[in-house]
Structure 1
Amino acid sequence: MTPRTPVQHHRNAIMMFVGMMLVALNLRPALTSVGPILKTIGDNLPLSSVGQGVLTTLPVLLLGLAAPIAPRAARRLGMERSVLLVLIILGLAIVARPYLGVSGLFLGTAVAGGCIGIISVLLPGIVKRDFPESASLMTGIYTATLCAGAAIAAGSTEPLRMFFNGSWQPALAIWAIPAVVAVLVWWFQLGGKYVPTELPAAEKSLFKDKLAWQIALFMGLQSSLAYTVFGWLPTILQDRGVEPVQAGLALSVSIMVQVPAAIAAPWIASKMRDQRFMITLVMLATAMGLGGSIYAPIESAWLWVAVLGLGQGGSFSIALTLLAVRARDAQTAARLSGMAQSLGYTMAAIGPLLMGILHEQFDSWNVAGGVLGLIALGALIAGLGAGRRRYVLDQ
């Protein structure tokens, strides 16, 4: 095969960047579009608090359960072709799930979560391979794009429901449109001369590596907080007297605030000796934001959702950055991504379900708030281990 010229390499890098950003834009709307209209869905189907908790937990669980599929798909199809195929399935799941009854809603949500889990595993390996000298910055940018997609869906779904004369089905299905756009661009990219890199079979297991486990625990615990917020923050605020549209907007604002934090946190951390100080900072902000949203006077809710956004944007971006910077090559980064996200998201699924159970049991968010504080503490402890400047498989 003829080697690529510098111009071709530059063009391919630009195409990959654009493609990654469009893919990242699709990695949260299927999840964050549900929370703002969760009460409406529950009233129409209907669903109990536990049922609503299962609905918010299911995609997070599938994020973890589907993650091991990613390395196998990459070895068979290549990373880019795997992303394209999964994007198509994601779009179909989003557009179909509101119209197939209760079982279809749960099944479509599960499939969407699985698709997002597979793509999320593949992206860090692509970043490590194509942008090795700027992995932290690139991770921050695509994390910010991911947060932007989450925020747009969270803030727009309830107004869209009102626009569609109170119908929640088209308000959910409309989020298949960004997936269609990403599929078209990704398809065009694969039609060029770019040849995907396949991953060779792994030899040494990451499951015996202490650092890999610390990264997985940090990923899982901070994700548990994130998906609890995605699924329950609008309901928490509504229970405290906030109007539904304002509650959805509050979630949107919180996620939008994540955008600058997602870019800044890994970039600032890359200038330091390691990531431990920044991990401490973002986890403290996350805990304060959660506590303020649940316990502080409701008049100050906008302040606390903003603080929460700063903490969660930074913690998620750093968690993804660790997948790249704690590995010495793209293959190891992809394997670490698969392990950390598989274990992490399976663990994270407990959070939203537990919040639903605690709320139904105590008819209050006070106990749930204390549990969220303990999860944040666990994430901080795991993050201090994962944030040390070391590499997996070096021991």
Structure 2
Amino acid sequence: MAIISVGANLRAPLTSVGPLVGNIRASLGISSFAAGFLTTLPLLAFAAVSPFAPKLSRRFGMQTVLFGASVLITAGVFLRMVSHVGPLFAGTLLIGLGIAFGNVLIPGLIKSSFPHHIGLMTGIYAVSMNVCAAIASGLSVPVAGRLGWNGSLGYWGFISLVAILVLLPQVKLRRSVSAGRAAVQKGANMWKSKLAWCITVFMGLQSLIFYTTVAWLPEIMTERGITVSAAGWMLSIMQFALIPFTFIIPIIAGKMKSQIPLVILTGALFIGGTLGILFGSTSLMVVWAILIGIGGGTAFSLAMMFFSLRTRSSQEASELSGMAQSFGYLLAAAGPALFGVLHDATNSWTLPLLLLLGVSVAILLAGLVSGRNVQIR
């Protein structure tokens, strides 16, 4: 239950922003770069905080840290309801800090709590996260029609309140057990491992693709003649498309010795979807969005599974997760803001989409190394 409740809060506060970027820019008078930074800021928080999450987990226990993370997310969501630039960015930063802890610790929690069902539990976690993310994208514009853009962003704070209530009884019960287990575990040096760095690049690039499309896909589609509401639902469809695969892929990956076939599938989906948006028919835009969505679901699931499959203990899984999500999200943070800058400079989405195509090729190359049947030593 804790894994599901925490997972439900790890994307919805971010994916609810993309369809409302136009409203926010018009209301507050901010630039495209600043609007893109609303998505970049949480990623910078991920990069800054992720290395420290395993250390805090060893000291206080995973449940205690995840409880604190849920409190940060809730506070940030409600702070963004204040219709000013300062609270908007401050709340976004708090959300990013809280999500960072959840991102890092969930793979280790799954490996320690469900060692014989890693694929299944990873799938359940990913589905809970992505279902809420997709719903948030689709409902943001309709809710904003009734409550305003700030009320729409604050609406999702009630989900994080559920996580607080679920985790509260477990904090004292689990703290000593989690801390004790982590204290006796020693693992490999992730920072000196080529495999760990390849997993980090894979994690970062799939995050870059996801957060960039979440931030700008509605704007791209609106420029192509699709209505704002329909563009928001298109983003929602993209995320709904990935949901079945975030459940199925971890189970399949867990039964395979090498995940390279799944990596090749991931690269093909990203490349095909990006080429479709660039050169394909506007009437088939939903097809290109679905291809990118399926690719994103497969890539995210593989990244989560690599943390467990390429390590020997829950502590190693948390350490690899912390490293990958620190440098990986730092890499991903460049995406939304860079897309905004390139669009402003060229007044076109062609160059940004060509960049996304290059990223799709790079994630394939990093995945070919990460998918091999070896463990970090």
Counterpart position of 1:53: 36
1:108-187 alignment runs, 5 A limit: 108-164=91-147, 167-187=148-168
How far does residue 257 in structure 1 lie from its aligned partner after superposition? Answer: 1.0
Counterparts in 2 of 1:48 and 1:276: CA distance versus 1, 3 Å: same
Counterpart position of 2:20: 37
Please list every run of 5 or more consecutive structure 2 residues that lacks an aligned counterpart in the other structure. none
370-379 or 52-61, larger mean C-alpha shift:
52-61
170-179 or 192-201, larger mean C-alpha shift:
192-201
How far apart in 1 are the matches of 2:340 and 2:285? 21
Please list every run of 5 or more consecutive structure 1 residues that lacks an aligned counterpart in the other structure. 1-17
Q: State the aligned residue count.
A: 374
1:78 maps to amino acid: G
1:121 maps to amino acid: V
Counterpart position of 2:274: 290
2:292 maps to amino acid: L
1:86 maps to amino acid: A
Q: Deviations over 1:322-344 (max 9, x none)?
A: 01111111111111111111110
How far apart in 2 are the matches of 1:179 and 1:294? 37
Decide whether the 8 Å contact of 1:66 with 1:115 is kept in 2: no
How far does residue 203 in structure 1 lie from its aligned partner after superposition? Answer: 6.5
Counterpart position of 1:336: 320
Counterpart position of 1:207: 191
Q: Deviations over 1:170-189 (max 9, x none)?
A: 10011100000111011133
Q: Alignment identity in percent?
A: 36
Q: Deviations over 1:47-95 (max 9, x none)?
A: 1111112222111221121112211211221111100011011101111
How far does residue 192 in structure 1 lie from its aligned partner after superposition? Answer: 5.2
1:96-107 alignment runs, 5 A limit: 96-99=79-82, 101-107=84-90
1:181 maps to amino acid: V
How far apart in 2 are the matches of 1:67 and 1:255? 25
SS in 2 for 1:389: coil
Two-structure CA RMSD over aligned residues (Å): 1.5
Decide whether the 8 Å contact of 1:276 with 1:388 is kept in 2: yes
104-113 or 25-34, larger mean C-alpha shift:
104-113
How far does residue 293 in structure 1 lie from its aligned partner after superposition? Answer: 2.8
1:324 aligns with 2:308: yes
Decide whether the 8 Å contact of 2:109 with 2:314 is kept in 1: yes
Decide whether the 8 Å contact of 1:265 with 1:314 is kept in 2: yes
2:315 maps to amino acid: Q
How far apart in 2 are the matches of 1:238 and 1:120? 31
How far does residue 138 in structure 1 lie from its aligned partner after superposition? Answer: 1.3
Counterpart position of 2:216: 232
How far apart in 2 are the matches of 1:295 and 1:361? 21
Counterpart position of 1:10: none
Counterpart position of 1:258: 242
1:20 aligns with 2:3: yes
How far apart in 1 are the matches of 2:77 and 2:224? 31
2:151 maps to amino acid: P
How far apart in 2 are the matches of 1:193 and 1:179? 20
247-256 or 62-71, larger mean C-alpha shift:
62-71
TM-score, normalised via structure 1 length: 0.92
2:170 maps to amino acid: Q
Counterpart position of 2:232: 248
How far apart in 2 are the matches of 1:85 and 1:383? 33
Counterpart position of 2:178: 197
Q: Deviations over 1:121-147 (max 9, x none)?
A: 010110110111111221122112111
Counterparts in 2 of 1:331 and 1:39: CA distance versus 1, 3 Å: same
Decide whether the 8 Å contact of 2:266 with 2:364 is kept in 1: no
2:99 maps to amino acid: I
270-279 or 26-35, larger mean C-alpha shift:
270-279
Counterpart position of 1:5: none
- Where has structure 1 moved over 4 Å in runs of 4 or more? 191-195, 201-204
1:45 maps to amino acid: L
Q: Deviations over 1:235-286 (max 9, x none)?
A: 1111111111111101111101111011112222233331111011022112
